[in-house]
Amino acid sequence: MQHVSPVRIPLVTSGKTYHDVTEDVCRQVEAKPNIRWMAALSVALFFLGVFLYSVYRTLWYGIGEWGLNKTVDWAWDITNFVWWVGIGHAGTLISAVLLLFRQKWRTSINRAAEAMTIFAVICAAMFPVLHMGRPWLAFWVLPLQNTFGSLWVNFNSPLLWDVFAISTYFSVSLVFWYTGLVPDFATIRDRAKGPIARRAYALLSFGWKGGAKHWSRYETVSLILAGVSTPLVLSVHTIVSMDFATSVVPGWHTTIFPPYFVAGAIFSGFAMVLTLMLITRVVFKLEDYITLEHIALMNKIMMITGSIVGVAYITEFFIAWYSQVEFEQYAFINRATGPYWWAYWSMMTCNVISPQLVWIRRVRYSIPMTFVLSIIVNIGMWFERFVIIVTSLHRDYLPSSWAMFSPSIIDIGIYVGTLGLFFTLFLLFAKFFPVINMAEVKSILKYGVDNGPTYGGPNTGAQQSAYRPTGAPASAPVNYNKHD
């Protein structure tokens, strides 16, 4: 039992009842698809088509379709990979880290954020697999028995660590998300009118009934999954950063990379959560669940992680000078003043300066400002990866090999295409799955309202009896000013 202060602001506004939560969340699942959703899905499907065409070109004609050259042999593909994986991290942060810190406001955004994680990791996985050139041999990354003697994979390679990290992260996020969805599918199943919907959601709900023992186990499972996902999410982006940090390329070979990448991942992830939530809350009329307080809190996390990223940029510069390594120093001077200066300064403006606006209360609580900021941050974080990858590679130790990189139309097609893939998946999720975790929102409905639950477990004796006559359940509309 935790103490709930009477001055807490309710997490859900407008005095919703349990039944209102069910109605508000199930409404769009049960309604016929509306025209705005159809229009959005058509746009997403168009870009998915662009993706498929670009993938076809890549597979049929080979990696030569991309803008890579001998010097810059890693560019948009790995940039997009890191960008997408980073975006995914906010979902796990919200569902796991904030659960461990008992941040109850996370309940109304965790479902959509976890869905975003899963879809973002799917998009991310496309890039290394396509860059293999022969994706049908992708199983070679696994330590399987083979016909080349028993030539195993190299467990010393960070790229192999990536295989294990990303696949573990994806599958664990998926079961975490699905286990959370099961009780909500049961709610939809029990309300469903049509025979198809009833059967489909019955299958999805795994026969959930909401018995006390099941809930008790469910909570245990959630807590352990959260406890294990927290180091997992940190390990994933740490390993992604080691793809660079364990090399000897100037600008990559730094020990600051793991924390710097993790902070950057959370930064861009929260920006993407904000972008999606700001649209979702309006389209599905969920303003009472995803309130301005939620937006302000997410803005604050974005600002803090943005500042950590800013400190990391400056530290890198300092260490390049302090190390007295000529190549390191050149790499950083070249980033800021070389031919890719525009990418570097876009990154600095978007990631370091723009989030500082969040210090102003009016910006933090402003929906248009937040929306613009979230887009800017995502652009900035894309540039960050581009700057790290391309400017370090294009001029390293051997000046005779220096080269420039420019993307081909297929590069752009694949990147824009993964956005189409992501939004296709997200729109389908938003239509057919409950976008808000109803069960968890119901459990915090009384938080900050009517001083919260008063029952403190058996035999505590200290708590006042909260017995009310049956006519007036506490979940009925409550007068917030009442502090009796």
Partner 1 sequence: MTKRYALGIFEDEDVLMHAIENVRAAGVKIYDVFSPYPVHGIDDALGIERSRLPIAAFFYGMCGLSFALWMQIYMLGFDWPMIIGGKPHIGLPAFIPVSFELTVLFCCHGMVITFYTISGLYPRLKVPVMDVRSTDDKFVMAIELKEDADLGNLTQLLRANGASEVNEKEMTKE
Q: Which is nearer to partner 1, 232 or 286 (CB)?
A: 232
Q: Which is nearer to partner 1, 165 or 373 (CB)?
A: 165
Decide: is 219 part of the binding site for partner 1 (CB under 8 A): yes
Decide: is 168 part of the binding site for partner 1 (CB under 8 A): yes
Scanning 122-130, 145-153, 273-281, 317-325 for contacts with partner 1 by CB under 8 A, the matching segment is 145-153
Q: Which is nearer to partner 1, 46 or 455 (CB)?
A: 455
Q: Which is nearer to partner 1, 150 or 481 (CB)?
A: 150
Decide: is 477 part of the binding site for partner 1 (CB under 8 A): no
Among 36, 70, 102, 211, binds partner 1 (CB under 8 A): 211
Decide: is 171 part of the binding site for partner 1 (CB under 8 A): yes
Which residue is associated with the tokens 């965790």? 110
Enumerate residues 19-38 that contact partner 1 by CB under 8 A.
19, 22
Q: How far is the CB of 167 from partner 1 (least distance, A)?
A: 8
Q: Which residues contact 128 (CB under 8 A, 6 or more apart)?
A: 77, 78, 81, 159, 162
Token pair belonging to 62: 């080979």
> Cα–Cα distance between 322 and 424 in angstroms, integer?
48
Among 40, 350, 425, 438, binds partner 1 (CB under 8 A): 438
CA-to-CA separations, 197 to 121, 184, 415, in angstroms, rounded = 29, 14, 35
430: left (phi over 0), alpha (psi -120 to 50) or beta: alpha
Decide: is 147 part of the binding site for partner 1 (CB under 8 A): no
Decide: is 474 part of the binding site for partner 1 (CB under 8 A): yes
Taking only Cα atoms into account, the Rg of the chain, rounded to an integer number of angstroms, comes to: 25
> Cα–Cα distance between 465 and 463 in angstroms, integer?
6
User: Which value, to the nearest 10 degrees, does the dihedral of the CA atoms of residues 173, 176, 178, 180 take?
Assistant: -140
Burial 347-372 (b: 16+ CB within 10 A, else e): bbebbbebbebbeeeebbebeebbee
Scanning 51-59, 154-162, 288-296, 415-423 for contacts with partner 1 by CB under 8 A, the matching segment is 154-162
Q: Which is nearer to partner 1, 189 or 364 (CB)?
A: 189
Among 186, 297, 390, 421, binds partner 1 (CB under 8 A): 186
Decide: is 224 part of the binding site for partner 1 (CB under 8 A): yes
CA-to-CA separations, 309 to 81, 271, 349, 352, 423, in angstroms, rounded = 19, 14, 12, 7, 27
> Cα–Cα distance between 96 and 85 in angstroms, integer?
17
Q: Which residues contact 158 (CB under 8 A, 6 or more apart)?
A: 239, 242, 243, 246
Q: Which is nearer to partner 1, 93 or 376 (CB)?
A: 93
Decide: is 212 part of the binding site for partner 1 (CB under 8 A): yes
Token pair belonging to 192: 């469903």
Token pair belonging to 385: 């990866």
CA-to-CA separations, 220 to 179, 217, 447, in angstroms, rounded = 12, 5, 22
Scanning 129-137, 202-210, 357-365, 421-429 for contacts with partner 1 by CB under 8 A, the matching segment is 202-210
Among 256, 296, 453, 478, binds partner 1 (CB under 8 A): 453
Decide: is 6 part of the binding site for partner 1 (CB under 8 A): no
| Longest CA span, the chain | 85
Q: How far is the CB of 15 from partner 1 (least distance, A)?
A: 14
Scanning 116-124, 176-184, 373-381, 428-436 for contacts with partner 1 by CB under 8 A, the matching segment is 176-184
- Map residues 227-266 to x or -, x wherever contact with partner 1 holds by CB under 8 A: -xx-xx--x---x--x------------------------
SS3 218: helix
Decide: is 218 part of the binding site for partner 1 (CB under 8 A): yes
Q: How far is the CB of 113 from partner 1 (least distance, A)?
A: 18
Q: Which is nearer to partner 1, 92 or 354 (CB)?
A: 92
Scanning 30-38, 310-318, 388-396, 435-443 for contacts with partner 1 by CB under 8 A, the matching segment is 435-443
Q: How far is the CB of 320 from partner 1 (least distance, A)?
A: 25
> Cα–Cα distance between 461 and 6 in angstroms, integer?
21
Decide: is 17 part of the binding site for partner 1 (CB under 8 A): yes
Q: How far is the CB of 77 from partner 1 (least distance, A)?
A: 22
Exposed/middle/buried for 166, CB within 10 Å: 0-12, 13-18, 19+? buried
Q: Which is nearer to partner 1, 38 or 223 (CB)?
A: 223
Displacement of CA 17 from its chain's centroid (Å): 30
